[in-house]
Structure 1
Amino acid sequence: MISFNYETEFQLQNEPALSQWISNAIINEGFNEGEINYIFCDDAYLLDLNIQFLEHDTLTDIISFDYSLGKQVNGDVYISVERVRENADDYEVSFENEMSRVLIHGILHYCGYKDKTEADGALMREKENYYISQLD
């Protein structure tokens, strides 16, 4: 089950379609959907989590806590709407495109994809682009 929760004024449009899109990606990657919670927040909220749980005193667009069990994907995905908005401007893409990228990025981590090395990052970006193309 995928749920969308809001700690900010922002509200996703088209939650049912996005939920189905995320579910399809999970299945396509050979996993089963468990309980996935998206929490949309602001920079300050996410910075507090970053300091408290990861000991990083930096702004970020996403923090995901992976509770997956075997092939069942479970987790909490925190997204800073402010950071996504700024990144969209920086990368000169639409806010919707950047939000889609962040939504699927967390799921891809749960499916075993990494992004710390250049090669892993390239594969992650390729997968993100593939799934974003499925939204059109």
Structure 2
Amino acid sequence: MALQIDMIDETNELTEEHQQLIEKLLNYAAKEEQVEDGSELSLTFVTNEEIQEINKTYRGKDQSTDVISFAMEEMGEGEIEIIAPDMPRMLGDIIISLERAKEQADEYGHSFIREMGFLVVHGFLHLLGYDHMNEEDEKRMFSRQKTLLDGFGLER
């Protein structure tokens, strides 16, 4: 068994090949991070305009960005954790701007799929609790991203 991935391309621009590669990358990263089989996540691809609206609504930042993650396992104040024996682990949601990914691939001088891989792994690690709010956490997260991408074959 593998991850249960609900992948939605609201832009209708991702090829079947891209989607399959992203699914394989996520399953590779999940295996490397020892995530339980059957864990669920949602991955949505949107436009710059759509991600800007999401960023404004949920993060108070009125600007587009490349990737936003909403981790289901982060407990907010007053929230109650729901655990059931037969319930799969719900990791959360990753939202990626396809437009921004293309722009950044050009800007950084690597392939579109390398940039997509970077954003997917970045979002996935956020779902698992990684962060980059301080220098130490940033080094840990970015080092892990590089290790996962290199191990999968998406080196820079």
TM-score, normalisation: structure 2: 0.77
Deviation at 1:110, TM superposition (A): 1.6
Task: Show structure 1 runs of 5+ residues with no match.
Answer: none
User: Which has more radius of gyration?
Assistant: 2
Aligned counterparts of 1:93 and 1:121: Cα–Cα separation in 2: 22
Number of corresponding residues: 136
Aligned counterparts of 1:49 and 1:18: Cα–Cα separation in 2: 22
Is the CA contact 2:44–2:96 (under 8 Å) kept in the aligned structure 1? yes
Query: Against the structure 1 CA distance between its residues 81 and 17, is the aligned structure 2 distance closer, same or farther, given a 3 Å change threshold?
Result: closer
Aligned counterparts of 2:119 and 2:132: Cα–Cα separation in 1: 13
Aligned counterparts of 2:148 and 2:62: Cα–Cα separation in 1: 31
Is the CA contact 1:2–1:36 (under 8 Å) kept in the aligned structure 2? yes
CA deviations 1:103-131 (Å, max 9, x no partner) are 11111112221112222222222111111
1:99 partnered with 2:116 = yes
Instruction: Tell me the residue number matched to 1:129.
Output: 146
**1:60-75 map, 5 Å:** 60-68=65-73, 72-75=89-92
Deviation at 1:24, TM superposition (A): 3.0
Aligned counterparts of 1:40 and 1:96: Cα–Cα separation in 2: 14
Deviation at 1:134, TM superposition (A): 2.5
CA deviations 1:65-108 (Å, max 9, x no partner) are 11137893521111001111111122222111110000111111
Deviation at 1:50, TM superposition (A): 0.6
Paired amino acid for 1:86: E
Deviation at 1:21, TM superposition (A): 2.8
Cα RMSD over matched residues?
Answer: 2.1
Deviation at 1:46, TM superposition (A): 0.4
As a proportion of its length, which structure holds more helix?
1
Is the CA contact 1:43–1:83 (under 8 Å) kept in the aligned structure 2? yes
Instruction: Tell me the residue number matched to 2:96.
Output: 79
Instruction: Tell me the residue number matched to 1:29.
Output: 33
Is the CA contact 2:28–2:152 (under 8 Å) kept in the aligned structure 1? no
Is the CA contact 2:39–2:91 (under 8 Å) kept in the aligned structure 1? yes
Greater shift, 77-86 or 115-124, is seen at 115-124
Task: Show structure 2 runs of 5+ residues with no match.
Answer: 74-80
Instruction: Tell me the residue number matched to 1:58.
Output: 63
